[in-house]
Structure 1
Amino acid sequence: MSLPELDWQIFYGRVAWAIVLAALISAAWPRAWALSRARLAAIAVCAAVLQALPGEGAPAYWLGLVFQWPSALLVGLSAAKLHFAWQGKPEKKVMSAQLAALIAVAGAALYLDAIGLLSLGLFYAGFGPRGAPLLALLLAVLCSAAIVRGQARVQSVAVLGALLLFAVPRLPTGNLWDALLDPLLWGWALCSLAAAYRHGWTLSAARAGAGAGAAATTA
């Protein structure tokens, strides 16, 4: 088991939190104000400057105390969100239903294991010298195949980038699960699934109402 240097972890944390913070602000930007490239650049610069403040002056210090480091996958998806905002497509989703379901299930298993309800040692297995690298390799092959086929390219690139950070510099912590999952990402996945379910239920209700209205008119 090899762990990254603390200095590299701190550097990663500051850069990662800057990207995530910029993505959060751009996602919450009021629709009444057009999010131009100039404003998006200003948001990104301000986020970077804030995270570059020394010691406890940086939000990354306090965020690290609460959430530790953001997962590399969260950073990748946040970067994709900023990329689409830069292209003038802030409404484009980067959290697909399939990815959200996988993250939700994996997160539930890990967190239940962490509080002792499963007692499988899943988190510590992420430091394993064999299982974790093999799982990372399998995921990398699947993501590469998806990219070649043109399926879920944004999500596949984000996962592949997270796996590369885990495999080469061992960021953020040297644990595979920390590269692919964190509480904020898990919450994002759950909210995405809830929104998808609500949207599907609304469509079903509308179709049922339309069908009933058509039947009544025919009668």
Structure 2
Amino acid sequence: MSLPELDLQIIYARIAWGLIAASMLLSVLPTLLPKIFPQLAQRHKAIVTTTVAVVMLLPGEASPAYWLTLVFQYPSGLLTGYSLVALLARWRERPVIFPLHPAFALLLTVTGVVLYLDAFGVLALGLYYRGFDSGAATVLTCVAAVAGAAAVLFRYAGTAGMALLTSVLLFSLLRLPSGNLWDALLDPLLWAWALGSVILEVRRRHALRKAAQLENMEEPAPELLQARTAAEQ
């Protein structure tokens, strides 16, 4: 079992929480800053990113990253990867879709449920501890790397693929964030985001199905159309 150095974890926490905070702020502030400070409209991305970086790099308890790590532990490499990809997209003025890809969100949601039930002793499978095992972790890391590369190559959930590759690289090269593969792929915040994405997708599909049913009810049946045509003739 190989664990990362504590100093490396502290540096990772500062950078990761900075990326997460910057990507979240840039999803909200572009609509607010131009109204409050019109002169900053063209520079808001640089201002937000620089401010977050400076604040996160403050020493000890003065840094928000210190308290965020105490509450949420280290963010997963996957969440960090998502934040990095979203931040780069917003920097290039490209649209960023808030919900995760439905298939990927469902996979993360189900995986999180199984892991949390296992951690609470409901299933007692010992899955989390296998994330430290070199054999099982190596196989799963290879599978995740291939899946991420395929998603990017075939342009199917490309954002998820790039984020997944980022998390795999962080774990493979630096053993971040904790030396456990599951911590590199999932954390409570990411699981809540995935669950929310699944709920939104279910609601969207339900609304589409309901709209289609209403359209079918409004359209007269072929037999009625034929009867009306015959009566008019």
State the TM-score, normalizing by the size of structure 1. 0.91
Contact 1:94 1:154 in 2 (8 A): no
Q: Pairwise mapping of residues 1-219 of structure 1 onto structure 2 (< 5 A)?
A: 1-29=1-29, 31=31, 38-93=43-98, 95-215=100-220
Aligned length: 219
Paired with 2:208 and 2:104, the residues of 1 have a C-alpha distance of 22
Aligned Cα RMSD in Å?
2.2
- In 2 relative to 1, CA 106–67 (structure 1 residues): closer, same or farther, beyond 3 Å? same
Cα displacement (A) at 1:32: 6.3
- The 8 Å contact of residues 84 and 92 in structure 1, kept in 2 or not, is answered as no
Whose radius of gyration is greater, 1 or 2? 2
Please state how far the C-alpha of 1:94 moved relative to its aligned partner: 6.8
Distance 1:28 1:199 in 2: 23
2:132 maps to amino acid = F
Q: Tell me which amino acid in the other structure corresponds to 2:145.
A: A
Q: CA deviation at 1:121?
A: 0.9
Separation in structure 2 between the aligned mates of residue 32 and residue 17 of structure 1, nearest angstrom: 22
CA deviations on 1:57-95 (whole Å, 9 max, x unpaired) are 111111111111100100111111112222223443572
Distance 2:148 2:108 in 1: 15
CA distance 1:87–1:177, shift in 2 (3 Å): same
Q: Distance in 2 between matches of 1:47 and 1:32?
A: 17
Matching residue's letter, 1:171 = L
Contact persistence 2:117–2:123 (CA under 8 A): yes
Query: Relative to structure 2, which stretch is displaced further, 79-88 or 139-148?
Result: 139-148
Could you say what secondary structure the match of 2:134 adopts?
A: coil
Cα shift readout 1:31-79 (whole Å, capped 9, x = no counterpart):
4666966212221111111111111111111111111110010011111
Provide closer, same or farther for how the CA distance between residues 150 and 106 of structure 1 changes in structure 2, counting only shifts above 3 A. same
**AA of the residue aligned to 1:22:** A
Determine if contact 1:70/1:182 at 8 Å carries over to the other structure. yes
Kindly indicate whether the alpha-carbon contact (under 8 Å) linking 2:33 and 2:44 is maintained by their aligned counterparts in 1: no
Q: Secondary structure at the match of 1:215?
A: coil
The answer (yes or no) to whether the contact 1:81–1:94 under 8 Å persists in 2 is: no
Q: For 2:106 and 2:11, how far apart are their aligned partners in 1?
A: 31
**Aligned-pair distance for 1:11?**
0.1
Correspondence for 2:37: none
TM-score between both structures, scaled by the size of structure 2: 0.86
Q: 1:32 to 1:66 in 2, by over 3 A?
A: closer
Q: Are the equivalent residues in 2 in contact too, given 1:23–1:81 (CA < 8 A)?
A: yes
8 Å Cα contact 1:22-1:44 kept in structure 2: yes
